[in-house]
Structure formats: structure tokens, C-alpha cells
Chain A
Amino acid sequence: MKAIRTSLQIIGILLLIPAVAMATLRFENRNDDGPSILFPGGELVSGELYSGPEPNWDFTSNIQTIELELEDTGSSRVIWILNADGNAYVVSGYMNTFLGRLWKDWAVVADEGSGEAVIRIDGLRYERQLQRIQSGDELDGVAESLLRKYTGVPVTPESIANQRAAIESGSTWAFRLAPRSE
């Protein structure tokens, strides 16, 4: 009995060390200029702030991830970026589960808050307004971009329809990265 207790105590400490390490790393990154791949960061402060005409966001086709900061929280994260018809989008999956919404809390904040954000792509910052898109044919382009760029799923009318349905059902949330003036 004593041996079992001792074993459990040792296991507990061995699990505690990496758990504390992960929590400490997350805490240590919280105010950095931008996120790391693994942990959220603070405000995006470095990099020129783009002030030109609204870009055609199709250039993001070759960009895998961007940095996204929500001004409501001042925290930033690395995130996928989609493009369709010259517009840019970000998505958040697993939103139909409690743990998913907890993990992807940025999407909840964006939807329920001001939605004001700053993104950074290749060192250049853009002020954006996250607008959640829940229905409409615009989602066909979003679905196709998501399938083509980030999944191994063949892009067919059926797969696009399925992905669009996932967005419309609330399982996946899609946000257009609109200019602030809209």
C-alpha cells in the first residue's frame, strides 16, 4: 500500500513538472511582441502599419500563417489565413464543443466584442475588423480556400458544400478580415 502511494506521488510530481513548465512558458510569452507558434503573445507593436488602399488579399494564397491580435484582449496568436474573391478570412474550428470554445476563445471574443484586430504578415501590420460570416454564397469561397490550402480533402462541389454546412451550423466560425472603415 505504501509502495503504491509512493509510486503515485512520484508520478504526480513527474506530471507536475511539465505542466508547470507549459504554464510558465505561456505566462512568459504573454507580453511578447507577437505570439510564438505554441503560445499566445502580446500586442503586435513592431512593423510598419499599412496605410495604403485596400489590398487584394489573394497574395495570401502562399502564406500559411499570420499573426492576429484582438484589440479587446491585447493578445495575439498564430493563425491560418484564407482568401477568396480578393478578401481575407480567418476561421476557428471545434466551436460546437465546450472545450473547443474554451480553446478558441479568441473567436468568441471577436464575435462578442468589437472585433477590432491587427494582423501582421511578413512584418507589415494591417488594422482589420473581424466580421463573422454565418451564411451566404460568400462561404463557398471560404470553404474552397480552407479545403484547398489546409486539408487533404479533394476540392469537389460536395466537399465545398459540406464545409460550408459546417460553417453555417456553427461548428466552424469564419470571419472576414474587413477594413476598419466598414
Chain B
Amino acid sequence: MSWKNYGITCLAVAVFTAAVILLVPGLAEALEVRLLTFLSTNASG
């Protein structure tokens, strides 16, 4: 992939990711719980 197309792809992925998190109900909270669980598990290890 050319670097120009790669940049466009990255931008599209970023926008899509942000949109999904912001617009899908409950997803943000679910992700945060998962992240907290992951951090807690690894912090105690």
C-alpha cells in the first residue's frame, strides 16, 4: 500500500473506531470495564 493510501486508511480506521465507540450504546462502558479488568489482573500479577 502506498504511504498516501496508508494514511487515508489510518484516518478511516480512526474515524470508524471513534464513531463506533461514541455511537453504539453501552460500548464505551463495556470497553472501560474490560480495560479496568485487564489492568487489575496484570497489576496484581
Residues of A within 8 A of B (CB): 6, 9, 12-13, 16-17, 20-21, 23-25, 28, 36-39
Contact = CB atoms under 8 A, between A and B. Distances in A.
A12 B10 contact: yes
Contacts of B13: 13, 16-17, 20
A6 B3 CA distance: 10
**What DSSP secondary structure best describes chain B's contact surface?**
helix
Contacts of A16: 10, 13-14, 17
Interface of A, secondary structure class, is helix
B6 A9 contact: yes
Interface residues of B, number: 16
Interface of B: 1, 6, 9-10, 13-14, 17-18, 21-22, 28, 31-32, 35-36, 39
Given A24-B22, A36-B32, A6 B1 contact: yes
A23 B22 CA distance: 11
A36 B36 CA distance: 10
B36 A37 contact: yes
A157 B13 CA distance: 55
A4 B21 CA distance: 31
Given A20-B14, A25-B28, 9 more contacts: A6-B1, A12-B10, A16-B10, A17-B13, A21-B21, A24-B21, A36-B32, A38-B35, A38-B39
Nearest to B5: A9
Contacts of A28: 21-22, 28
B34 to A, nearest CB: 11
Contacts of B28: 24-25, 28
B18 A20 contact: yes
A39 B32 contact: yes
Contacts of A36: 32
14 contacts: A9-B1, A12-B10, A16-B13, A17-B13, A20-B13, A20-B17, A21-B21, A24-B18, A24-B22, A25-B32, A25-B35, A28-B22, A28-B28, A36-B32
B39 to A, nearest CB: 8
Nearest to A8: B6
A59 to B, nearest CB: 27
